[in-house]
Amino acid sequence: MTDRIDGEAVAADVRADLQSAVDSVADRGHRPTLATVLMSPDPASETYVSMKQRDCEELGIDTRDVELDLDEPAEALFDVIEELNRDDDVDGILVQSPVPDHVDYREVLERIDPEKDVDGFHPENVGRLVAGYPRYKPCTPHGIQKLLDATDVDTEGKEAVIVGRSRIVGKPMANLFIQKAPGGNATTTVCHSRTEDLAAKTRRADILVAAAGIPEFIDGSMLSPGVVVIDVGINRVDADTEKGYELVGDVDFESAAGKASAITPVPGGVGPMTRAMLLYNTVKATGRQADIEVELP
């Protein structure tokens, strides 16, 4: 029997556990606040930001909504970030990517106060993660750790194979898997576009994390029986639906499910966890900013 890992249910549990932390902070006179900054040429970004804001509001986290026109100079965005850094009422700052070409995204990340960097992308936070004492774990890989834990998948001693080495998924995932800590201790392989004989690597996996951004390109023939498959991919493909497209993962679900002991669906797997872990980091940031001890799930 293949276990279909229900990311919506695990994310709901995380949110329920976070609710009491939000309430206890509010009882002490501090309302958690997340500032979202939108200056993105990708039309989907607006939807992502409004989903994140809605998640916050449902939990009682205030949001600050800043939008900049695409043709504004980079300095305008940097000024906004500086203002939010200095604002004691703002606990977390998220600049939605991508930003326009004339804005250096690396500089954007470096300008966010690392204490308010709830995405965990500031070099200081990346460094802390690599060094083994993370402040804010990036939301997607952290969410995957939670999903595995909730599914009773022990990573210790396992072969974890990650397909993709991006800054937001593949690399931090690898860093979490190799930590000498719960949810880590896995023997970890990171594959990418230059990897030779990818299938030979993926067949070694006890746990496979697919994050390449290519629709359904990992199929059952690339997997060994009993593997746990975590499909991060969210790809739009043309389909005969009302919207004219459907969302599919990086994994061919049907054939992979034939091999896997457990597998995440798309949608409804990793996506809801990424959103839940942004709330987690925001609550954590609030505790740090307000110097209040919060109990995190």
State the nearest-atom distance from the C-beta of 59 to ligand NDP, in Å. Answer: 18
Residues binding ligand NDP (CB under 6 A):
140, 163-166, 168-170, 191-195, 198, 211-214, 232-235, 270-271, 274
Q: How many CA atoms lie within 13 A of 107 on its CB side?
A: 13
Catalytic residue among 119, 206, 231, 250: 119
State the nearest-atom distance from the C-beta of 75 to ligand NDP, in Å. Answer: 27
State the nearest-atom distance from the C-beta of 16 to ligand NDP, in Å. Answer: 20
Task: In whole angstroms, give the CA distance from residue 279 to residue 258.
Answer: 34
* Under 8 Å between Cβ of 270 and 147: yes
- Ranked by CB distance to ligand NDP, the top (closest) residue is 166
What order of strands is seen across the sheet that includes strand 228-231?
3-4, 262-263, 228-231, 207-210, 159-163, 187-191
Integer angstrom CA distances of residue 132 from 119, 123, 144 = 17, 14, 18
Task: Verify whether residue 119 is a known catalytic residue.
Answer: yes
Task: Verify whether residue 96 is a known catalytic residue.
Answer: yes
Structure tokens at 78: 């940097």
Catalytic residue among 53, 91, 96, 250: 96
Kindly give, in sequence order, each residue whose CB lies less than 8 Å from that of residue 248, ignoring residues fewer than 6 positions away: 215, 216, 233, 235, 237, 266
Q: How many CA atoms lie within 13 A of 272 on its CB side?
A: 18
**Pick 160 or 234: Cβ nearer ligand NDP:** 234
**Pick 140 or 188: Cβ nearer ligand NDP:** 140
Task: Verify whether residue 79 is a known catalytic residue.
Answer: no
**Pick 74 or 214: Cβ nearer ligand NDP:** 214
State the nearest-atom distance from the C-beta of 194 to ligand NDP, in Å. Answer: 5
So which residues are the catalytic ones?
A: 52, 96, 119
